[in-house]
Chains A and B, each alone.
Chain A
Amino acid sequence: MTNHPNGKTEGMPPLARLLSGFDKPRNVTRLFYLLLAVCIALGLADFLYHKHGYFAVEEFPAIYGLFGFVAYAAVIFLAKGLRLIIRRPEDYYEPFAIDTEDERAAGSDPEATGGKPHA
């Protein structure tokens, strides 16, 4: 989670302070390896019990994991391809489109945003 690290924790709610180390690159990397480890463990777990599947293909060890990984990547890449086709500037449907309007009109807290009072 690559972004400007923010070490300052004052002014944050106590719960947030608890979580505040989260976006340090070191911790992010640790988290990644933890996830990898859990995944490998889950894959190996398939050898430890008798699987009850509906289809023959389910019998293959760790098939769900592999399928999940591949399907996820496929979704992302297909979506990236799709974006090439369908992406348009935000003012495409102008005038009278909500995409470029001030979103605070939907009823934001006027103090918190420092914005004008809206409906």
Chain B
Amino acid sequence: MKHHSILRVVSKLLIPPIILYALYVQWHGDYGPGGGFQAGVVFAVAFILYALVYGVDEMMRILPPRLLHALAGIGVLIYAGTGVVTMLLGENFLGYNVLAHDPKHGQEWGIIVVELGVGITVASVMMSIFIAFACHNPPIKDEEW
């Protein structure tokens, strides 16, 4: 890919806006269209684009699969943890009302945190899947078939 200078320059230019857009979708998910699922995918796309242009190894230097797996788990934990916190505060599971002094604020906080968890998980799972396909390092080698 070294000689595809146009692709490299353009992608370098594109990646920051993509991430920014992903973050926008993420943080406006509570009252506008969007949310963790979409944001996660868009966010992952930025890194996948990077990997396509610069190679998977480069991407894995930033985000090793181990970290991605952990992030996927952490995302779920953030989601479920919110539910547990509301439970501990005396509401039902995922009953956000108690998260702030005002139920409306509570709902907002709750959604944002939950969506964050979703977003992290989706992004890291997307990237994991991409790496799994892109790396020629499957758990079962071709010769073994």
A and B touch in the complex (CB under 8 A): no
- Chain A residues with CB under 8 Å of chain B are none
